[in-house]
Amino acid sequence: MKIAYLVNQYPAVSHSFIRREILALERQGHEVQRISIRGNGADHLGQEDRSEAKRTRFVLDSGIKRLLLAFLRMLATRPAALVKALALVWKLGRRAERPLPVHFIYLLEACLIYRWIKDDKAEHLHAHFGTNSAEVAMLVHVLGGPPWSFTAHGPEEFDKAQFIALPEKIRRASFVVAISSFGRSQLFRQVSHDQWPKIRIVRCGLEPSFYEGKDGLPLGAAPRLVCVGRLCDQKGQLLLLEAATKLRDAGIEFELVLAGDGEMRNELERLIDTRELRPVVRITGWITSSQVREEILASRALILPSFAEGLPVVIMEAMALRRPVISTFVAGIPELVEPGEHGWLVSAGDVDGLAAAMRACLECPDEALSAMGKKAQEKVLRFHDIDQEAAHLAELFQSVRETSERGRSRQP
């Protein structure tokens, strides 16, 4: 089956789970056309993502002239469909997060993608994230493109559901994927009960090459914790520095690595200096997927004190590498991490609880921590095998194709 994948930005360091899903579908015999709205600088990409970039078509790299030509071609060849798409753009843009002209640009992008998909004879269009990529995919379908679907990850989609027309997208999609039971519940909230059957769970997965050969590696020798993720308000790194200050003041020996970069880096740097945490806290900046893996392996545990989440892939990665997890009772995280079994969970925003969990982890005997890591790996591999999850997704694609074929066969 030929499937087109549409992502706002692909490949990207933070989107390794999409790459894994695409490659798993191809291993199962499907053809996948990769389309990204915009590109990504290659400086921060590992070899696997560089390879993916060569196989990806980038919409905005085509330039405004080509987008306008695609629009004019649509006007000449499918005027009725274009009018329907314009009406939908007007409907979506009136109460949207972004102004109406931006939604018109989405339509221009959809016109070009429609042509690419038609030329490639893709039978289904799947978007990742329920934001602008899902809107573009929806417009491609209105223009006459194939059936479409999308995966919602959260938390952004859930926080601003009405402003990104999430209910409209769910109603118009052939099916919608949630990555956790919590995520599915948030999608249930947006639509009437009769729409619930089309909302399915397909988890993000890990390929064996990520964790194979890592079973015998000991815990990091240093008393080091690593936090992996974009430096932003929802990840809770400011609270983490507050907790680190408490540990330092209590005389606890530790190292804390913030692996990533983002809009809050300057604020975090200032707090590190204000609290005189430079001897124990390090920010890496953007690093590749392989470097993230090495940082996790060099640690005793992953720590992610998030205020809002979907279900962080980095938690799956740490567990697959036999590292316990310190995180919060947020979104889909408790579906994967059981306190006392695979690590520690604390209430989001509880700096004292976070500091206590960090101390408990740092003081935990290696044997007990390794046992947690072993259980963590067993749990994540049971539920997050990429080939298994890609097979579930492929079944959904195939079901939509069969339904479409039955519908065409009934037409006079």
Q: Helix, strand or coil for residue 73?
A: helix
Q: What is the pTM of this model?
A: 0.94
Proportion of the chain in helix, strand, coil states, percent, rounded to 5: 55, 15, 30
Instruction: Report the 10 Å Cβ neighbour count for 240.
Output: 24
Residues 180 and 318: their CA atoms lie apart, in Å, by 18
Residues 135 and 116: their CA atoms lie apart, in Å, by 17
| Average pLDDT of every residue of the chain | 94
Nearest to 252 by CA among 224, 282, 284: 224
Nearest to 402 by CA among 139, 175, 170: 175
Residues 107 and 88: their CA atoms lie apart, in Å, by 10
Residues 18 and 14: their CA atoms lie apart, in Å, by 9
* pLDDT value of position 404: 85
**Six token digits for residue 249:** 């003041």
Nearest to 318 by CA among 388, 235, 375: 375
* pLDDT value of position 288: 85
* pLDDT value of position 216: 56
Cα torsion angle, 46, 49, 53, 58, sign: negative
Angle 348-349-350 from CA coordinates, rounded to 5°? 95
Nearest to 203 by CA among 393, 396, 399: 393
Q: Which domains does the chain have, with CATH numbers?
A: 2-205+386-410 (3.40.50.2000), 208-383 (3.40.50.2000)
Angle 88-93-96 from CA coordinates, rounded to 5°? 130
- Which residues sit opposite 4 in a β-bridge? 33, 125
Largest CA distance in the chain: 80
pLDDT 10s per residue in the chain (412 long)?
999 999 999 998 889 999 999 999 999 999 999 999 998 665 567 888 899 999 999 999 989 999 999 999 999 999 999 999 999 999 999 888 899 999 999 999 999 999 999 999 999 999 999 999 999 999 999 999 999 999 999 999 999 999 999 999 999 999 999 999 999 999 999 999 999 999 999 999 998 888 887 655 678 778 999 999 999 999 999 999 999 999 999 999 999 999 999 999 999 999 999 999 999 999 999 998 889 999 999 999 999 999 999 999 999 999 999 999 999 999 999 999 999 999 999 999 999 999 999 999 999 999 999 999 999 999 999 999 999 999 999 999 999 999 888 777 666 5
Pairing of strands 343-346, 325-328: parallel
| 383-387 contacts, C-beta under 8 A, 24 or more apart | 383/203, 383/336, 384/203, 384/204, 384/205, 384/206, 384/316, 384/320, 384/336, 385/205, 385/206, 386/20, 386/21, 386/24, 386/204, 386/205, 386/206, 386/207, 387/24, 387/27, 387/28, 387/205, 387/207
